Amino acid sequence: MDVSGVGSSKILKLYNNSNNTNKAVKDSSTKIAKNDSLEISTLGKKLSAYSIDDNFNSSSAKIDAIKNDVKNGTYNIDSKLVAEKIYDQMKERGV
């Protein structure tokens, strides 16, 4: 087996070229991630005013109240209630 044609300089050159290619791919993927966007249709916006039970609700008022509670450090979550709701949803779906 003759490996005299492979020198350390060739190996380092190949390694450096592959690193530069990987950096270019990473840079381009971060640029793509910054350009992502989401648009909600007008129908979707109208539907957001309804709850699951077809009742109107003031979601913006609820969201503002929760944001204020979180900001003030007074937002408390009842873990038992959350667990009950998760369990009920799982029973309904047959999971």
Mean pLDDT of residues grouped by 10 in the chain (95 residues)? 62 71 56 72 79 64 89 91 93 84
Asked if 81 contacts 90 with a C-beta cutoff of 8 angstroms, the reply is no
- pLDDT at residue 24 in the model: 53
Per the listing, tokens 């799982």 go with: 90
